[in-house]
């Protein structure tokens, strides 16, 4: 699928390359080193720890991806691996901080506000939510640094709440929201388009939508921020199987998203095709 064109204002506002200065960490005095590591982004500190194990003494436990699941999640999804049970995670003496992604398998026992507070430092840029959850709980996990949100399984978003939901997404600096939830359908994309169009000329510069294999809605705010909603209506495996014969894996999905459906030359493709010899 072709990418949406970049706006002239966004291209003109692209920041100039910043100058970098190299220095040796061991040459720093301890107070300076401590202050430097205290302000370093978690993702950079996580990478540094792979090369300098002594850096693990600073700022507690850090993982690239932190996965937390409801204590009852195994009964709902026995295939969960690498997830910390919620009660165990909340009982840790030393907080575990995600450097890149927070993944939560929701259940009735999970309090989003308490879990978010337990993380202490909120620097994850990717948020994955699974299980059974309400639309308002999505915002409980958001912070200013989240860029991508992926929603799976069963997101409870009634039609009467969709306007509030899609408007609230614009309050954050998110670049993309992927709807992989089973109850997503084209109505969600149509509603998002209508809601955002009412904001054109006030909060938004313009809104456009495409209803191809994966419906997408794109909005550009007055400060040139872009938000894309990708409504993956085929995320329900039963529905996919009935349409294409077997469930689709993520590699197939990535190929389809990159495929340019608008520029297909049948004759050229046939001419370039590898000849088949029959016996």
**Which of the four pLDDT bands, split at 50, 70 and 90, describes residue 16?**
low
pLDDT at 50 over 90: no
Q: Token match 């506002």: residue?
A: 13
Q: Is residue 17 part of a domain?
A: no
Domain coverage including residue 55: 36-261
Distance, CA of 240 to CA of 133 (rounded, Å): 23
Q: Is residue 20 part of a domain?
A: no
Mean pLDDT throughout 146-174?
96
Q: Is residue 185 part of a domain?
A: yes
Q: What is the pLDDT of residue 17?
A: 59
Q: 94-114 burial string, b = 16+ CB within 10 Å, else e?
A: ebbbbbebbbbbbbeebebee
pLDDT at 175 over 70: yes
pLDDT at 161 over 80: yes
Q: Is residue 279 part of a domain?
A: no
pTM of the model: 0.67
Q: Is residue 78 part of a domain?
A: yes
pLDDT at 6 over 90: no
Q: Is residue 140 part of a domain?
A: yes
Q: Is residue 151 part of a domain?
A: yes
Q: How many domains does the chain have?
A: 1
Give the pLDDT confidence of 107-133 residue by residue, as tens digits.
Answer: 999 999 999 988 877 889 999 999 999
Q: Is residue 229 part of a domain?
A: yes
What does the mean pLDDT of the chain come to? Answer: 76
Sign of the CA dihedral with 253 first, then 255, 261, and 266 last: negative
Mean pLDDT throughout 173-178?
96
Contact 221, 243 (CB under 8 A): no
Give the pLDDT confidence of 56-108 residue by residue, as tens digits.
Answer: 555 556 788 999 999 988 665 656 778 999 999 898 887 888 989 999 999 99
Question: Mind giving me the DSSP string for 88-114?
Answer: HHHT-SS-EEEEEEEEEEE-TT--HHH
Mean pLDDT throughout 213-219?
92
Sign of the CA dihedral with 234 first, then 238, 239, and 240 last: positive
CA 272 to chain CA centroid, Å, is: 38
Q: 217-242 burial string, b = 16+ CB within 10 Å, else e?
A: bbbbeeeebbbbbbbbbbbbeeebee
Q: Token match 């990478």: residue?
A: 47
Tokens of 210: 């495409």
């Amino acid at each position: 699928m072709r990418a949406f064109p970049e706006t002239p204002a966004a291209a003109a506002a692209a920041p100039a390359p910043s100058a970098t200065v190299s220095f040796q960490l061991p040459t720093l005095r301890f107070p300076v080193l401590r202050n430097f590591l205290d302000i370093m982004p978690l993702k950079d500190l996580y990478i540094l720890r792979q090369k300098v194990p002594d850096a693990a003494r600073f700022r507690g436990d850090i993982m690239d991806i932190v996965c937390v699941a409801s204590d009852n999640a195994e009964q709902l999804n026995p295939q969960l691996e690498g997830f910390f049970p919620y009660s165990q995670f909340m009982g840790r003496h030393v907080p575990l901080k995600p450097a890149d992604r927070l993944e939560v398998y929701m259940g009735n026992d999970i309090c989003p506000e308490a879990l978010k507070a337990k993380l202490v430092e909120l620097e994850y840029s990717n948020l994955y939510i699974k299980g059974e959850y309400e639309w308002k709980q999505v915002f409980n996990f958001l912070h200013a640094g989240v860029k991508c949100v992926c929603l799976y399984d069963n997101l409870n978003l009634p039609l009467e709440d969709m306007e509030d939901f899609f408007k609230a997404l614009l309050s954050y600096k998110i670049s993309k929201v992927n709807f992989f939830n089973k109850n997503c359908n084209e109505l969600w994309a149509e509603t998002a388009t209508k809601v955002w169009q009412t904001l054109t000329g006030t909060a938004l510069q313009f809104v456009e939508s495409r209803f191809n294999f994966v419906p997408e809605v794109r909005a550009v705010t007055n400060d040139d921020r872009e938000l894309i909603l990708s409504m993956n209506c085929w995320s329900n495996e039963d529905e996919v199987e009935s349409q294409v014969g077997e469930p689709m894996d993520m590699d197939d999905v990535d190929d389809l998203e990159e495929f340019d459906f608008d520029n297909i030359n049948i004759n050229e493709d046939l001419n370039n095709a590898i000849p088949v010899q029959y016996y």
